[in-house]
Amino acid sequence: MKKIIITVIRAAVGWHFLYEGLIKLFSENWSAASYLNNTFGFLSGYYHWLAATPARLAVVDFLNVWGLILIGLALFVGLTVRWASVAGAFLLLLYYFAYPPFGASMLGGDGAVYIINPLLIETCVLLLFFCYREKGYGLDNLMPRFKKGKPVSSAGTDAQSTDSTVTLEATGGPVQQSRRTALKELVTLPFLGLFGWGAWQRSKTYGVDTLSGATIQINRMDLSELKGALPMGKIGNLAISRMIMGGNQIVGYAHSRDLLYVSKLYKAYNTDKKVFETIMLGEQAGMNCINTSFVAMPTIVKYKKITGSKIKVIMQAGVNEKADDIYENVATAVDNGIDIVQLHGGVCDRLVLENKFDLIHGLLQRIRSNGVVAGICAHSVYSLLACEEHGIVPDYFMKTMHHDDYWSAHPRENRLPYEVIGEEYKDHNKFHDNIWCSFPDLTTEFVNRTKTPVIGFKTLAAGAIRPKDGFRWAFENGADFICVGMFDFQVVEDVNICIDVLNNLSNRKRPWYG
């Protein structure tokens, strides 16, 4: 029974290797380039080096494919099991450390927890096969070694067993095993044929198995395709990339107009693991700052602690007028090491509407008293004009900045100054979560007049404007930085577009501030 169990486990691991190798072999234009170029963790430099040249990558691809096939075949049929096991363990460890479930990666693939993932478990199984003498049934047992003419049993069995004992001819000639013993050692071959036939039939019906780990590819550009370094600016005393990551993916704000299911779908995709992956990819692509809401702060703090990230964080704070300390959000942000704190855009608009400029001024003072950069965010340009009139000058402004030349934007004559925060939702001809810079001309006029750095956000009108168009419009009309929400598969492409736009910016009139 022990030999049967060992044989089944060994064959299962072998089939995993063999199948992954064959899928790679038969997949058109398969390459490890994407896998290597997007690695995270302390060994990422090594994996990036492997993919750095076509010649080096060709060698890696060849060794990967044929290593998997040969290791898998050897394990399945029980041939040179010990050496196939150590080779397989080494290959799995290379996969494991490409995306380790600890340190700066914490991704580790599906089914991963801290440190342990399926790759590590399978590695341990292979190391057991290497260290443990019993190998189960297989071809190794058909080629026994001899000790001075004495018969030697197959590995781990009693030499006196009638089923597995090998015998010498009277003349000391070749070894002949019993037919029954030979059939036992060849037991995996029919299963290999059956598995192979089934996989072949499946491939004829469905094509290459796209659910295999060998073929799953995220349709995104590789980090190796970056066009250069993302330009930097300054807010306060902090160096900030000209493109800042948006944080709506953390809390699930999709701004999907009347498509009610999209926010849930958005949040279902952006699990903590996916959020971490997106932020890490953004950092590697050159974005060193993320803007997000106060409710997302625990996720960001967790990310920084786990990964050791140095990403700058802009936290949007509110004012709790019912609390003993109305600026408690600021205190919490400072206690958690947040780099930049700004008044939340919706809160700013409401405070201006209620003529509570003393609270806005007090919040900026509280932020600055902690040595933290202080900003004001707004959806309505009228909020910033009012702050300007009351002598309130932050370290930077953050303002929705996008044009209105897209089909779902409602007519200008129907727009209201504070419609984004709910001044008018019910009238179908007016605001319905479809525009965030209601008066773009007035916005650009204000931005080009102020000498305070400006971050433009909602530059793509929540997906209604193409990145190249939206980025160019914002920068040409005075934004010093843009804040952009994105999925992981858009990161490198968006950074490249931003670099291209900044390198070919001809119509900007405002000097760069920050």
Residue 370 Cα distances to 33, 244, 296, 304, angstroms: 46, 23, 21, 21
Ranges 173-187, 407-421, 489-503: which has the least confidence: 173-187
Residue 371, Ramachandran bin (φ over 0: left; ψ between -120 and 50: alpha; else beta): left
Residue 45 Cα distances to 41, 52, 276, 429, angstroms: 9, 10, 19, 54
Look at the chain and count its residues. 514
On the question of pLDDT at 173 being above 60, the answer is: no
On the question of pLDDT at 502 being above 90, the answer is: yes
Structure tokens at 296: 């997302």
> Are the C-beta atoms of 228 and 465 separated by less than 8 Å?
no
What are the tens digits of pLDDT across the range 345-394?
999 999 999 999 999 999 999 999 999 999 999 999 999 999 999 999 99
The CATH class for the domain spanning 241-503 reads alpha beta
- What distance in Å separates the CA atoms of residue 202 and residue 192, rounded to the nearest whole number? 15
The per-residue pLDDT of the chain, averaged, comes to 85
pLDDT at residue number 157: 44
Confidence of residue 147 (pLDDT cuts 50, 70, 90): very low
On the question of pLDDT at 343 being above 90, the answer is: yes
What are the tens digits of pLDDT across the range 320-330?
888 888 999 99
* CB atoms closer than 10 angstroms to residue 211: 10
- Of 235 and 23, the structure prediction assigns the larger pLDDT to 235
- What distance in Å separates the CA atoms of residue 30 and residue 213, rounded to the nearest whole number? 12
Amino acid at 195: F
- What distance in Å separates the CA atoms of residue 126 and residue 31, rounded to the nearest whole number? 26
Domain range annotation of the chain: 2-138+187-206, 241-503
Identify which of 361, 392, 394 has the alpha carbon closest to the alpha carbon of residue 376: 394
Write down the H helix ranges in 133-210. Answer: 179-185, 188-206
pTM for this structure? 0.74
3-state helix, strand, coil in the chain (%, to 5): 50, 10, 40
Average pLDDT for residues 79-107, to the nearest whole number? 85
